[in-house]
A and B are shown apart, each in its own frame.
Chain A
C-alpha cells in the first residue's frame, strides 16, 4: 500500500538558517510527489510537484525539493528561512489513476527570530 512518512513532527529553525524537511514514500510505480503548505485556519497551497524529468524541482517562495528514487525520498529545502515560512508542511503522493493524494502526517515549522 502507498504511504508517506514525514519523520519530523516539529522543527524549529532560526530566521535566516537553512531548512530541510524530510519525506519518505512507499509507492510501487513512478510516483507523483507534492509538497503543500498550510497556514493556520487556511487551506493547502501547492509549493512544488515532481512528475518526471529533472530530479531537482523548484517551487514557489524559494523552496526546492529533490527526488531520490534510491532512497524513496523527496525532501524539501530552503536556503534561508523567513519568519513568514512558519506553517505546517505536508508531503503527498498521488495514488493510482484517480489522482487522490496520500499525505504524510505533516511537519510543523517554527521560526525563531
Chain B
C-alpha cells in the first residue's frame, strides 16, 4: 500500500464549529506532514511530526491543532476557523532522515463560512 489517504474529501464548516481532518498511511513512514494550499499557490508547510512527536510548527495559529495518535494516523483538529482558512489541506509522509516528501494525500477541500 503506497498511498496516503485523507478524509473527508470536502468539508464545509461554520466559524463556530469544531471539526477534524484525518490522514492515514501504511508505508511505515515515521515523518508526517500537514500542508495548506490556497488556490493557484504552492503548498505551505504547517506541521511536521517525527516518530509521533511534533517537531515543527510553522507559526500556525492555535485554532489548528495537530495530533498523531500512532505511527499511521495524523489528525488536524479545527476550531473557530476564519473564512481565510478555506483551502486545500494536504497530508504527506516520508521516511525520516531522507530529504524530500514523496507521498502526498489527495487533500481535504475546506470551506469556512
Q: Do A and B come from one complex?
A: no
